[in-house]
Structure 1
């Protein structure tokens, strides 16, 4: 499984890179703030919404600590998606939130 630190993701974000971020936390967690531009797909719905994703794109998976996003990363990888787990999750994120 490919991984990236929150700091590495934040650096890419601040450089203006186009990032496809998927937040797999629950609704109440996302309401407290998410990475700007992140798409919210709760972990339990990833299987049912993966048809919305493009296998030609790279996705960065985010959750609170990195565990749920790790599970989502492994699941999507098994279906041929190009995904990276953001280690440390939102607990490690020091950048802007929306």
Structure 2
């Protein structure tokens, strides 16, 4: 059975669209991690957008590592604990971006 060029092209476009729908945006991944750490969903969404645009991939990985919690205590990361862990990274840029994002989102409500 022969397929026409337009049929093949349509199939490729459809496959590309479906593949695009199945990928999760970096903002969504960061938002989900923040929620898992105990940040309220609205605040997490606000912060995730800012963090993804201000931190590079390696900094996001560092932030993810420092914010991980033991599985038995999801959502238990206090602000003081987060601050302590951020300072331990010894990366002033990450500390600044996270602090500004948190304060900005808290003020924006």
Give TM class, smaller chain: under 0.3
When normalised by structure 2's length, the TM-score is: 0.24
Bigger relative CO (Cα 8 Å, ≥ 6 apart):
1
Q: Greater share of strand residues, 1 or 2?
A: 1
When normalised by structure 1's length, the TM-score is: 0.26
Q: Greater share of helix residues, 1 or 2?
A: 2
Please identify the structure whose Cα radius of gyration is greater: 2
